[in-house]
Chains A and B, each alone.
Chain A
Amino acid sequence: NAGVTQTPKFRILKIGQSMTLQCTQDMNHNYMYWYRQDPGMGLKLIYYSVGAGITDKGEVPNGYNVSRSTTEDFPLRLELAAPSQTSVYFCATRGYGPYEQYFGPGTRLTVT
């Protein structure tokens, strides 16, 4: 089992460019989450999904979009990248019951 995988690991974007951060899980979990972690800070929720076809906004959704067409995949789309989106992005999943979230290794994004 790979668990939660994220690609790419690192990316540098120019202001105004767009990109998609990929997240894939093989844990058959319904719940998936995208967080961002700014330097020296805790994680903040961007978007989450409770199952295929169902997504909703978290605390800091502006500038991002998501889709969930399958249980396994939960891509995060950045449109018109801005320097304020420079951060580390984590994808996480959760099953029913114990409530632990399992995190991917993160994507470090720099927008210049």
Chain B
Amino acid sequence: AQTVTQSQPEMSVQEAETVTLSCTYDTSENNYYLFWYKQPPSRQMILVIRQEAYKQQNATENRFSVNFQKAAKSFSLKISDSQLGDTAMYFCAFMKPNAGGTSYGKLTFGQGTILTVHP
């Protein structure tokens, strides 16, 4: 079974600065997907960024980028130019695609990191 660990329960950053959230995972699979989801106080789960394990290039989406280290099973999220609207709980998640059985495209989530952006 896959596990996802986020070792930082809480982080804070000043507006306009850069912050990195950590995530490690454990799997014996070679092909999989990794995601970062954002959950603001509204509770809505919002996809931030996605990484395919077979791609060596790190994914980027505007101010959000990842550092994907497959051998180390590490998947950190970097937020540049932090904004007040980035304040949220951030979840790292793992997916083994279309493998059948109870892991059929399901997401395995980490415990989350609460990020607070201060003005």
Footprint of B on A, CB under 8 Å?
31, 33, 35, 40-45, 48, 50, 56-59, 88, 90, 92, 94, 98-103, 105-106, 108
Complex Cα gap A53–B111 (Å): 32
Q: Which residues of B contact A48 (CB under 8 A)?
A: 104-106
The interface stretch among B39-47, B55-63, B67-75, B78-86 is B39-47
Q: Which residue of B47, B95, B97, B109 contacts A43 across the interface (Cβ within 8 Å)?
A: B109
Q: Closest A-chain residue to B33, C-beta based?
A: A99
Verify A58–B102 contact, CB threshold 8 A. yes
Do the beta carbons of A31 and B105 come within 8 Å of each other? yes
CA distance A106 to B89 in the complex (A): 15
What is the interface of chain A mostly: helix, strand, loop, or mixed?
strand
Give B10 Cβ to nearest chain A Cβ, in Å. Answer: 11
Q: A99-B50, A100-B47 are in contact. Are A41 and B107 (CB under 8 A)?
A: no
Q: Which residues of B contact A (CB under 8 A)?
A: 4, 33, 35, 42-45, 47, 50, 91, 93, 95, 97, 101-102, 104-107, 109-112
Considering the chains assembled together, what is the distance between the CA atoms of A99 and B95 in angstroms? 8
The contact of A98 among B43, B50, B93, B106, by CB within 8 Å, is B50
Q: List 18 additional contacts besides A42-B112, A99-B50; criterion CB under 8 Å.
A: A33-B106, A33-B107, A40-B111, A42-B4, A42-B109, A43-B45, A43-B107, A45-B107, A50-B104, A56-B102, A57-B102, A59-B102, A88-B43, A92-B107, A98-B50, A100-B50, A103-B44, A106-B43
